[in-house]
Amino acid sequence: MKESRLRRRYRAERRYRFYGKAAIAFAVCFLFFFFVAIVSRALPAFSQHEVLLRVALPDNLLKNLSTAEGEDANISEGAARRMLDAALAQELGGGGSAHERRARRALLTPLAALDLKRRVENLSASSVSSLSPSLLLPSWSLSFALSSSSERFLRAQSGGEQVADPALSDMQRDMLTALDAKGLVAKRFNLAFFTRSDSRVPSAAGIRGALLGSLWALLIAFLLAFPLGVLTAVHLEEFAPRNRLSALIEVAIYNLAAVPSIVFGLLGLVVFLNWWQLPRSAPLTGGMVLALMTLPIVVVTARSALKAVPEGIRNAGLALGASHSQTVLHHVLPQAMPGILTGAIIGMARALGETAPLLMIGMVAFIAQAPATPLDPATTLPVQIFLWADHPDPAFSSRAAAAILVMLCFLVAMNAAAVLLRQAFERKRQR
């Protein structure tokens, strides 16, 4: 054996092993880098800067509230805006020209006036007296969300970088710094992200509508795909005779599993929307398309679960005089049910992340209200992420990243549930 050749072969061996380790390292590093990128982008979305302002309630309003019994105060949006302007002017100083008033108002979110209007309308006589000890000082301390450009400026400032943001003028930047220096700016947890639906304003945009839309769609997909998938699997495993029809069914299922998801969207567009005139953008239609996509997965996992049921149980049932159908229904199916459910959960987890087919059936519109029924127009979580990711305002893309984290949490929970379910029932079977 020539020494040099042997050494070369060992060098090749080391190189080969190195390639393998490098490949794995590449994949793992990507995963790590990927999560870091998404989490770092998502963090700003979980907090919202707010400024504390003292809003003076107008006299006629106070009189209304103190005299009437349980009557709600109603003000117009214009009146609310004037109250807001007064509070801002009091805090920041500056002139009363329309331009300067607009500049000050632009520091807050565009929905601030509406927000104030709503809060005033929720007042009642009793709560007014609790706001101020005496009617001589009718002012109310409220927090208002800042606009996304203000937030960007403050975040950059606290990070130590100087941002030349074209959205803010120098005057506005000084005003923000002044407010911050007075300690009136606080960073609060962005609860609106979870309680509100989509909005044109980032500070009021949340995933509630998308979450509900996803839940409705998944529920409908489950209700359709699970029974049909299990019945198909039972048929193929237990009852189907070896004829061409059964072979055709198996081929069809294999094909369906391989069809790209967008083609299912096209099917939904033509058949569900065009031929059957189902409501566009509704979780019902989305759920039906998702059900068709999840069907092959449910069938395949249900079949393997049924195959795994030991022969002994079948024999015992048949020996007691139960018919084939009764054995399957009463003994085999319940025994296989944990495995089937595991597969269904995994199928649902995959359906949760599907976007392309839902785009085709129109769930891509701007929906500002959460759906009350499966027939209302809605969007789903992945579609919401898609819509927000496209937005030029970086506040929206950070909300998209935050929504991604929420979706990943759901996926982890579902997959963990499936694994735990499988383990629990395997342990039960061994006992």
Nearest approach in angstroms of CB 301 to other proteins is: 15
Nearer to other proteins, 218 or 360 (CB): 360
Give the strand pairing for 139-145 and 185-189.
unpaired
Nearer to other proteins, 26 or 189 (CB): 26
Nearer to other proteins, 3 or 69 (CB): 3
Nearest approach in angstroms of CB 218 to other proteins is: 13
Nearer to other proteins, 204 or 333 (CB): 333
Nearer to other proteins, 92 or 299 (CB): 299
Nearer to other proteins, 84 or 402 (CB): 402
Nearer to other proteins, 171 or 262 (CB): 262
Nearest approach in angstroms of CB 30 to other proteins is: 5
Nearest approach in angstroms of CB 303 to other proteins is: 11
**Which residue type is seen at 307?**
K
Nearest approach in angstroms of CB 423 to other proteins is: 14
Question: CB neighbours of 124 closer than 8 A, spacing ≥ 6?
Answer: 65, 70, 71, 72
Nearest approach in angstroms of CB 101 to other proteins is: 36
Nearest approach in angstroms of CB 398 to other proteins is: 10
Nearer to other proteins, 115 or 354 (CB): 354
Nearest approach in angstroms of CB 224 to other proteins is: 10
Nearest approach in angstroms of CB 35 to other proteins is: 10
Nearer to other proteins, 163 or 240 (CB): 240
The three state secondary structure string of the chain is CCHHHHHHHHHHHHHHHHHHHHHHHHHHHHHHHHHHHHHHHHHHHHEEEEEEEEEECCHHHHHHHHHCCCCCCCCCHHHHHHHHHHHHHHHHCCCCCHHHHHHHHCCECCCHHHHHHHHHHCCCHHHHHHHCCCCCCCEEEEEEEECHHHHHHHHHHHCCCCCCCCCCCHHHHHHHHHHHHCCCEEEEECCHHHHCCCCCCHHHCCCHHHHHHHHHHHHHHHHHHHHHHHHHHHHHHHHCCCCHHHHHHHHHHHHHHHCCHHHHHHHHHHHHHHHCCCCCCCHHHHHHHHHHHHHHHHHHHHHHHHHCCCHHHHHHHHHCCCCHHHHHHHHHHHHHHHHHHHHHHHHHHHHHCCCHHHHHCCCCCCCCCCCCCCCCCCCCHHHHHHHHHCCCCHHHHHHHHHHHHHHHHHHHHHHHHHHHHHHHHHHHHHC
Q: How far apart are CA 225 and CA 288, in angstroms?
A: 9
